[in-house]
Amino acid sequence: MGEQAPDGTEEQAKAAKSKPVKAVPGAASGAASATAGGKDAKNTAPRTAKKVTSAKVTSAKTAAKKMTPAKKAAAKAVAKTDDEKAVGKTAAKKSVGKTGSKKAVGTAGSKKAASDEASAGKAASVRPVAAPPRNESHTALVRRARRINRELAEVYPYAHPELDFENPFQLIVATVLSAQTTDLRVNQTTPALFARYPTPEDLAEADPEAVEEILRPTGFFRAKTKSVIGLSKALRDDFGGEVPGRLEDLVKLPGVGRKTAFVVLGNAFGRPGITVDTHFQRLVRRWRWTAETEPDKIEKAVGSLFPKSDWTMLSHHVIFHGRRICHARKPACGACPIAPLCPAYGEGETDPEKAKKLLKYEKGGFPGQRLNPPQAYLDAGGRPAPPLGAG
């Protein structure tokens, strides 16, 4: 047998096994609280808010029950007053909005009315235009073209060739020199030339260098010197020193084409001819008299619209108008006497006051191109051009 345990030890051990183990208060409760902490935190705030809200509602109901009838009436009156104030403010805002809108509309209307009046005034100052129909018949074109010529005859009763000359020889030489320059420059140059070489025979024998020096201001002076000397030799050798009066003879001379020939025939011999220079070409196309671009074809097309007896003065009228009013780059449409007949009206300045500033020569109060213009030109208010070097 073995040794016995001390008294009571065996019984204590059995008792310990039979009793359940109690959890340690600190450890067990800590773990549980750590796990449930998040859930409690989530639920606590809503519950608290609900309690506060229900407490407020309860207190409000309790206060309402405790209120006397007099206090209830006073509270209703205050609430009604506040509602009326709110409605009044809203109505005031709407009223202000409507008033502002009306003012804005009124201002816009005033501006529009002023703009319309200005436009109407401007439109009233613009001359009415009756553009020809696209399918204008030949008869209608003839009538319109002749009416334009009649109108121009009234505007320029003093129209004339703007080259100074005393005889056919001077006129043909001056016309040859007018290529690529102005009539004014030619008129300022020829007095010295004709003073030194008054006849075809004199100019035919001239020293080319001396002639070049005289003609230098006209530009292209070497080519022009060759032309006028060759022209003078042909007149001396073939026509007895006289300028011929036939188209077929004139165009055979050096430097003489149809334009120059018609200038000479119309103004030195009184034989009708159409002078198709740059001004004439530009205007007849603007007026839709023809769509041709070659001088010979323009001459033929325009010649068919007028009696032959009108050709010379027609040329002067058209060229005068092109130099004074119907300019190449900026025509003075607002000051044009034939604007109602012009299909190209509006290509230039249409304001009358601005258009007046574009007028040239006697129409604009400036000197003309001739140093010795006809008396009719002077009587109409024209002024002679200054001599070379005088400004």
Distance between CA atoms of residues 119 and 172, nearest Å: 53
Distance between CA atoms of residues 319 and 331, nearest Å: 14
Distance between CA atoms of residues 191 and 371, nearest Å: 10
224, 259, 310, 363: the catalytic one is 259
Distance between CA atoms of residues 152 and 319, nearest Å: 10
Rg of the chain over Cα atoms, rounded to whole angstroms, equals 55
Secondary structure string (H, E, C) spanning the chain = CCCCCCCCHHHHHHHHHHCCCCCCHHHHHHHHHHHHHHHHHHHHHHHHHHHHHHHHHHHHHHHHHHCCHHHHHHHHHHHHHHHHHHHHHHHHHHHHHHHHHHHHHHHHHHHHHHHHHHHHHHHHHCCCCCCCCCCCCHHHHHHHHHHHHHHHHHHCCCCCCCCCCCCHHHHHHHHHHCCCCCHHHHHHHHHHHHHHCCCHHHHHCCCHHHHHHHHHHHCCHHHHHHHHHHHHHHHHHHCCCCCCCCHHHHCCCCCCCHHHHHHHHHHHCCCCCCCCCHHHHHHHHHCCCCCCCCHHHHHHHHHCCCCHHHHHHHHHHHHHHHHHCCCCCCCCHHHCCCHHHCCCCCCCCCCHHHHHCCCCHHHHCCCCCCCCCCHHHHHCCCCCCCCCCCC
259 tagged catalytic: yes
277, 354, 356, 360: the catalytic one is 277
Distance between CA atoms of residues 252 and 258, nearest Å: 10
Contact 342, 321 (CB under 8 A): no
226 tagged catalytic: no
Nearest-10 Cα torsion for 248, 252, 258, 262: -60
Contact 189, 388 (CB under 8 A): yes
- Catalytic sites, residue numbers: 259, 277
